[in-house]
Amino acid sequence: MTKTRKPLQKYRRVVIKIGSALLVDRATGLKKAWLDAMCADIAALRSKGIDVLVVSSGAIALGRTVLKLPPGALKLEESQAAAAVGQIALARAWSESLSTDAIVAGQVLLTLGDTEERRRYLNARATINQLLKLGAVPIINENDTVATTEIRYGDNDRLAARVATMVGADLLVLLSDIDGLYTAPPHLDPDARFLDTIAEITPEIEAMAGGAASELSRGGMRTKIDAGKIATTAGCAMIIASGKPDHPLAAIENGARSSWFAPSGSPVTARKTWIAGQLLPAGTLSIDAGAEDALRSGKSLLPAGVREVKGTFSRGDTIAILGAAGREIARGLAGYDADEARQIAGKKSAEIAAILGYAGRAAMVHRDDLVMTGKRADEKDGRRDEVHA
Ligand code: GLU
């Protein structure tokens, strides 16, 4: 079993969620010194080659300070207006602070549909991956200005967990004013015990999460445990730690109290298990021997190698891939809708734009979205038969 606590530099891609109370003071607004120290921690991680994504709360808290709204609960329209005002200031603050470490920030505002509907999920994921590829740090928040009660996360704990699974992160760090998980609310129960590692989120662990949240933020321990379930089942470890000290990531490295949740499996395995486990693929692609070889050597499926497209599917649906011998060899997420796939099957990637009228993706199924499910026709029990010429 993998050791639950590892130095942060052992991770490859880290999502850091920052609670409103850390960034915003009701009376004085943005906590600039704290943000600068946080950005220095982010720069330190990045200098070790780790991809960093930030899910930053604070838009509503900052906006209500700027607009001088009275304390207490806000109506939906008021929090939407507060978010509109606060998000500009928040994004600017991140951008300015990160730029002192020569890091470029990119603002990404998501709604529930962007992480839950497959097509939008793929689009959001592609944009975030592109930002990372270009060396920028995505600064993500829920698009509170347009999110309504029915279609919103409402808390950034679960949003951050969905982002972590979306980009295949291997670590999610939830920073807030809570330093971790206790067996009972510590301010109410003197016997409450701190839990520093959680191997699995059992019903007992879930029962320990009360409903309490701090005044500035929406997330309490409940949403943090929900986030833990989303992250760990997708193979992503999670840490709950206090963000109160300056340099909170350095503090975690130096052994500050924090609760670590062990992942089940690796992000890649979890994702591929999910793809392979889809019961009813929405369609099939029959491919030629050259494409089959390419897939077996870990490459993406290009339109040129596709001989036939069957079924009705949309981009993002799971489809089965049939090898040259007509048997299923792989499953993957379609990069194109079925009718588009039919039009570009057998065509070179350079011809796609002229056929579809827009420059689509080069791959019919990207290798990150592909899992091999069947052996080669001439393979038995995982061993390839010798071929005599
Ligand atoms: N998206 C909200 C904001 O930026 C924060 C939600 C939360 O507190 O988790 O104000």
If you measure from the C-alpha of residue 260 to the centroid of ligand 1, how many angstroms do you get, rounded to a whole number?
A: 23
Q: Which protein residues are within 6 Å of ligand 1, measured from CB?
A: 20, 57-61, 83, 141-142, 144, 155-156, 217-219
Residue 37 structure tokens: 């120290």
Q: How far apart are CA 101 and CA 97, in angstroms?
A: 8
- Three-state secondary structure readout of the chain: CCCCCCCHHHCCEEEEEECHHHHEECCCEECHHHHHHHHHHHHHHHCCCCEEEEEECCHHHHHHHHCCCCCCCCCHHHHHHHHHHHHHHHHHHHHHHHHCCCCCEEEEEECHHHHHCHHHHHHHHHHHHHHHHCCCEEEEEECCCCCCHHHCCCCHHHHHHHHHHHCCCCEEEEEECCCCEECCCCCCCCCCCEECEECCCCHHHHHHCCCCECCCCCCEHHHHHHHHHHHHHCCCEEEEEECCCCCHHHHHHCCCCEEEECCCCCHHHHHHHHHHCCCCCCEEEEECHHHHHHHHCCCCECHHHEEEEEECCCCCCEEEEECCCCCEEEEEECCCCHHHHHHHCCCCHHHHHHHHCCCCCCCCECHHHEEECCCCCCEECCEECCCCC
**Best substitution site from 55, 56, 90, 141 to test ligand 1's pocket, by max atoms within 8 Å of Cβ?**
141
Residue 230 structure tokens: 């989303």
pLDDT confidence bin for 209, thresholds 50/70/90? confident
Give, using CA atoms, the residue closest to atom 7 of ligand 1. 155
If you measure from the C-alpha of residue 20 to the centroid of ligand 1, how many angstroms do you get, rounded to a whole number?
A: 6
Q: Please report the atom of ligand 1 found closest to the CA of residue 83.
A: 10
Nearest of 52, 50, 36 to residue 131 by alpha carbon: 52
Name residues whose C-beta falls within 8 Å of residue 212's C-beta, 6 or more positions apart in sequence.
Answer: 185, 220, 221
CB atoms within 10 A of CB 75: 8
pLDDT confidence bin for 368, thresholds 50/70/90? confident
Q: How far apart are CA 150 and CA 128, in angstroms?
A: 25
The fold of the 272-381 domain, in CATH, is 2.30.130
The per-residue pLDDT for 355 is 93
Q: Please report the atom of ligand 1 found closest to the CA of residue 87.
A: 4
53: left (phi over 0), alpha (psi -120 to 50) or beta: beta
Is the predicted pLDDT of residue 386 greater than 70, yes or no? no
State the span(s) of the chain assigned CATH 2.30.130.10.
272-381
**Range with the poorest average pLDDT among 33-37, 233-237, 273-277:** 273-277
The per-residue pLDDT for 383 is 37
Count the alpha carbons within 13 Å of 261 in the hemisphere toward its beta carbon.
32
Is the predicted pLDDT of residue 267 greater than 80, yes or no? no
The fold of the 9-265 domain, in CATH, is Carbamate kinase (3.40.1160)
**Residue located via tokens 């969620």:** 17
If you measure from the C-alpha of residue 329 to the centroid of ligand 1, how many angstroms do you get, rounded to a whole number?
A: 44
Is the predicted pLDDT of residue 175 greater than 60, yes or no? yes
Is the predicted pLDDT of residue 93 greater than 70, yes or no? yes
**Best substitution site from 15, 17, 18, 20 to test ligand 1's pocket, by max atoms within 8 Å of Cβ?**
20
Give, using CA atoms, the residue closest to atom 8 of ligand 1. 217
Residues composing the chain:
389
If you measure from the C-alpha of residue 348 to the centroid of ligand 1, how many angstroms do you get, rounded to a whole number?
A: 45
Bridge partner list, 238: 172, 261
Is the predicted pLDDT of residue 81 greater than 70, yes or no? yes
pLDDT confidence bin for 266, thresholds 50/70/90? confident
Count the alpha carbons within 13 Å of 23 in the hemisphere toward its beta carbon.
28
pLDDT, tens only, 3-20: 778 999 999 999 999 999
State the span(s) of the chain assigned CATH 3.40.1160.10.
9-265
pLDDT, tens only, 115-168: 777 778 888 988 999 999 999 999 999 999 888 776 778 889 999 999 999 898
If you measure from the C-alpha of residue 190 to the centroid of ligand 1, how many angstroms do you get, rounded to a whole number?
A: 31
Is the predicted pLDDT of residue 384 greater than 70, yes or no? no
Q: Please report the atom of ligand 1 found closest to the CA of residue 219.
A: 9
